[in-house]
Amino acid sequence: MNRLTYIGLAIAAIFILTAIFAPFIATQDVTAQDLFMRYAAPSARHWFGTDALGRDVFSRVVYGARISLEVGIIVVTVSAVIGIFIGAIAGFYGGLVDKILSGYIFNVFLAFPGLLLAIALVAFLGAGLGKLILALCVIGWVGYARVMRGQVLKVREYDFVQAARALGASNMRILFTHILPNAIQPLIVQASLGMAGAVLAEASLSFLGLGIPPPAPSWGTMIEEARGIDILYNAPHVLFFPGIAIALTVLAFNFIGDGLREYLDPKQRQR
Amino acid sequence: MKYKIQNVARQVGLLLLVVWTVVSLVTLLIELVPGDPATAILGEQATPEQIANFNAKHGLDKPAFFFSYDGKKGFDWHGADNRYLDYWKGVLTGDLGTSFRTDRPVLDMILERYPATIKLAVAALIVAVGIALPLGVLAGTNKNTWLDNSSSFVALLGISLPTFVIGPFLMYVFAVKLGWFSPTGSANPEDIILPAVTLGAALSAILTRMIRSSVIEELGEDYVRTARAKGLSERKVVYKHVLKNGLIPVVTILGLQLGVLLAGAIITEKIFSWQGLGLLLLDDGIGKRDYRLVQGCVLVISVTYILANSLTDLVYRWLDPRIRLS
């Protein structure tokens, strides 16, 4: 694995630890307002300064990691489980089932711009954490399904699958104890890139006012609140720190995904 | 020839199927609105009469679909006089309904804003190619040197930095600090530069990586050795021979990305208050709960996206005989 992958792993580790130990790392209450301290510059008391309501930006960025991680893990897990299941069925059974699933349903989901579908779903359902996660899962599963289908098509021709079948193993047993473990590598890459995608999508929707409503400290919401011209002029730190946090997190998971893909694909490694 | 027609027919068939699904989804999404649209628009104090009038005016008094299902009564057949079919009839005759808020035809509102979004997307495409072409060639011809590594790093940075982080940062540096551009709006011709760079950044990163690997691959081909052997300068080898072949896959990506740019423009338009389709969807549609307008915007953006993708695919098949015949 290359150096960037290790950098990615290190940043991701910091991000995850920050999210888990947020109550111990944050220096202030995330919702505590101090209207006498609006837009205060970074100082010993407020490491990243304060925002429009005098809330501590450092503590909000720390708790923001929690929201991002929570959304990321739930979205990746749920989409992966649904995607793996549907992809496995499409690849394993083939024929008409595969034609309907991969020929039609996958194509419909891929033909639709993901972010727009999420926006449309949230627009009609209303904003909120649960609905946001639902929308991201609706757009997320198809990536896993496609990878899984391709893997199953490849692996099911191997001798050990024929052997298992000859021994009388059921379809489900063959699928989940023989094929799945051999198809898992590209799915891990997909999950890592999916984590970056989910963190980014949550922040995007929150930025558009369609994600987690304030006062929850979502990084996207924090940037939304900080993008006024006068704020940019007087207190750019309010924008800077959540911006850096999102960029680093997404970068880290992209580094990991890219590095893993390169590591698992010898053709790319040589290049 | 027979294969070609079959292929095109299959493509067009799939395209129609996808468009049908999208329109159906958009039509039925409005049924997900918690409560009913009339109360959302008119407010809690609206009298039953006002609500009934509103519903009649916008055709909301009809059943949603051909049938409905009720746990107690089972399936209930409503016939052809339903909202789903009404919306379809409208779409096919170029009528996307009237806005719940302004009573204007939704199509007119969309057409007013459509050119601004297309302009922004095309400008972003130009910016992306302008950045990616030199950077990708530089990285590809200097493989594994510091030049290559740093351009790869810049590219990954461009992919990872979200639009809504790049946008305000650019605004801070070039509009607030340096004062070169106005931070929002589109009053002056040069005001398109910041939104276009913001929207094009991610694409330029993707393109840089593609051009790099394309150049590396082509440099290993026999014709490059021939070109060098006949004494051409390295510059000529790269720009006259390698790029010509190396750009074929890049062109495809460009077509596919035009659709992505259209969807991504929603965020960019919000950052820079660019009066396009995205801002119409967010502010006038979602912000004011004008569900008819939301339907129209989602429909137009996704159909444009799907058409751009399919056209690229068809053109690519036609251009590259290896795909056409496979």
Average confidence (pLDDT) over B308-313 = 77
Q: Which residues contact B4 (CB under 8 A, 6 or more apart)?
A: B324
CB contact under 8 A, B267 and A125: no
What confidence score (pLDDT) does residue B1 get?
A: 66
Give the distance from CA A13 to its chain's centroid: 15
CB contact under 8 A, A207 and B171: no
3-state secondary structure of B74: strand
Domain boundary among B92, B116, B150: B92
- Do B256 and B296 lie in one domain? The reply is yes
Average confidence (pLDDT) over B152-181 = 83
Of B252, B303, B114, residue with least CA distance to A112 = B303
User: How many domains are there within chain B?
Assistant: 2
In sign, the C-alpha dihedral spanning B298, B299, B302, B304 is: negative
Tell me the per-residue pLDDT of B100-151, one tens digit each, with 9 for 90 and over: 888 899 999 999 999 999 899 989 999 998 988 888 888 888 888 888 888 8
What confidence score (pLDDT) does residue A271 get?
A: 45
- Give the closest-approach CA distance of A42 to chain B in angstroms: 18
Instruction: Please check the confidence at residue B326 and state whether its pLDDT lies above 50.
Output: no
Residue B237: inside a domain, yes or no? yes
Domain, as residue range, for B272: 106-325
CATH number of the domain at B290, please: 1.10.3720.10
Nearest CA in chain A to B259: A113
3-state secondary structure of B67: strand
Closest by Cβ to A243, choosing from B157, B169, B305: B169
CA–CA distance, B298 with B278 (Å, rounded to integer): 9
CATH number of A3-16+46-270: 1.10.3720.10
CA–CA distance, A61 with A59 (Å, rounded to integer): 5
What confidence score (pLDDT) does residue A198 get?
A: 92
Residue B100: inside a domain, yes or no? no
Instruction: Please check the confidence at residue B324 and state whether its pLDDT lies above 70.
Output: no
CB contact under 8 A, B162 and A236: no
Residue B98: inside a domain, yes or no? no
CA–CA distance, A75 with A9 (Å, rounded to integer): 20
- Do B67 and B141 lie in one domain? The reply is no
CB contact under 8 A, A203 and B267: no
Residue with tokens 């990878």: A147
- Give the closest-approach CA distance of B80 to chain A in angstroms: 25
Average pLDDT, chain B: 83
Tokens of B285: 């549609």
CA–CA distance, A60 with A215 (Å, rounded to integer): 10
Closest by Cβ to B18, choosing from A108, A113, A208: A108
- Give the closest-approach CA distance of B160 to chain A in angstroms: 5
Query: Contact at 8 Å (CB) between A106 and A143?
Result: no
Closest by Cβ to B259, choosing from A113, A120, A196: A113
Name residue B205's amino acid.
A
CB contact under 8 A, B305 and A116: yes
Give the distance from CA B90 to its chain's centroid: 24
Residue B99: inside a domain, yes or no? no
Question: Which chain A residues are closer than 8 Å to B30 by Cβ?
Answer: 124
Residue A238 exposure: Cα atoms within 13 Å on the Cβ side: 26
- Do B78 and B127 lie in one domain? The reply is no
Of B120, B157, B165, residue with least CA distance to B258 = B120
Closest by Cβ to B298, choosing from A4, A116, A233: A116
Question: Which chain A residues are closer than 8 Å to B162 by Cβ?
Answer: 200, 203-204, 246-247, 250
Q: Which residues contact B256 (CB under 8 A, 6 or more apart)?
A: B308, B309, B312
Rg from Cα positions in chain A: 22
- Give the closest-approach CA distance of A172 to chain B in angstroms: 31
Rg from Cα positions in chain B: 25
CB contact under 8 A, A239 and B172: yes
CA–CA distance, A90 with A82 (Å, rounded to integer): 12
- Do B80 and B112 lie in one domain? The reply is no
Instruction: Calculate the alpha carbon distances from A82 to A146, A184, A190, A200 in Å.
Output: 11, 15, 14, 21
CB contact under 8 A, A239 and B285: no
What confidence score (pLDDT) does residue A17 get?
A: 94
Q: What is the 3-state secondary structure (H, E, C) of B164-190?
A: HHHHHHHHHHHHHHCCCCCCCCCCCHH
Give the predicted TM-score (pTM) of the model. 0.85
What confidence score (pLDDT) does residue A81 get?
A: 94
Tokens of A202: 């949550």
Domain boundary among B92, B116, B134: B92
- Do B72 and B119 lie in one domain? The reply is no
Q: Which residues pair with B61 in a beta bridge?
A: none
Chain A: residues touching B (Cβ < 8 Å): 4, 103-104, 107-108, 111-116, 119-121, 123-126, 196, 200, 203-204, 207-210, 220, 223-224, 226-227, 229, 232-233, 236, 239, 243, 246-247, 250-251, 254-255, 258, 271
Average confidence (pLDDT) over B271-288 = 88
User: Angle, to 10 degrees, between the axis of helix A114-125 and the axis of helix B2-29?
Assistant: 20
Tokens of A104: 């039609």
Of B294, B249, B247, residue with least CA distance to B96 = B294
- Give the closest-approach CA distance of B321 to chain A in angstroms: 23
- Count of beta carbons in the 10 Å neighbourhood of residue B314: 16
CB contact under 8 A, A120 and B259: no
Q: Which residues contact B178 (CB under 8 A, 6 or more apart)?
A: none
Mutate to test the interface with A, among B298, B304, B310 (most CBs of A within 10 A): B298
- Do B282 and B311 lie in one domain? The reply is yes
CB contact under 8 A, B17 and A104: yes
Q: Which residues contact B299 (CB under 8 A, 6 or more apart)?
A: B22, B23, B26, B91, B96
Closest by Cβ to B164, choosing from A207, A210, A251: A207
Nearest CA in chain B to A197: B160
First and final C-alpha spacing in chain B: 12
Residue B97: inside a domain, yes or no? no
- Give the closest-approach CA distance of B324 to chain A in angstroms: 19
Domain boundary among B65, B92, B119: B92
- Give the closest-approach CA distance of B286 to chain A in angstroms: 6
Nearest CA in chain B to A111: B306
CA–CA distance, A115 with B205 (Å, rounded to integer): 19
Instruction: Calculate the alpha carbon distances from B285 to A23, B16, B280 in Å.
Output: 39, 27, 6
Average confidence (pLDDT) over B51-78 = 80
Tell me the per-residue pLDDT of B208-259, one tens digit each, with 9 for 90 and over: 888 888 888 888 888 888 888 888 888 888 888 888 777 777 777 777 777 7
- Do B48 and B126 lie in one domain? The reply is no
- Give the closest-approach CA distance of B288 to chain A in angstroms: 11
Nearest CA in chain A to B308: A111
Of A57, A68, A71, A64, residue with least CA distance to A28 = A57
pLDDT tens per residue, chain A (271 residues)? 678 889 999 999 999 999 999 888 888 888 777 788 787 778 878 788 888 777 888 889 999 999 998 999 999 999 999 999 999 889 888 888 888 888 888 888 877 778 888 888 888 888 888 889 999 999 899 989 998 998 888 888 888 888 988 898 888 888 888 888 888 888 888 898 899 889 989 999 999 888 888 888 889 988 888 877 778 778 788 888 998 999 899 889 988 888 888 787 655 554 4
CA–CA distance, A26 with A15 (Å, rounded to integer): 13
CA–CA distance, A222 with A233 (Å, rounded to integer): 16
- Do B137 and B249 lie in one domain? The reply is yes
What confidence score (pLDDT) does residue A266 get?
A: 59
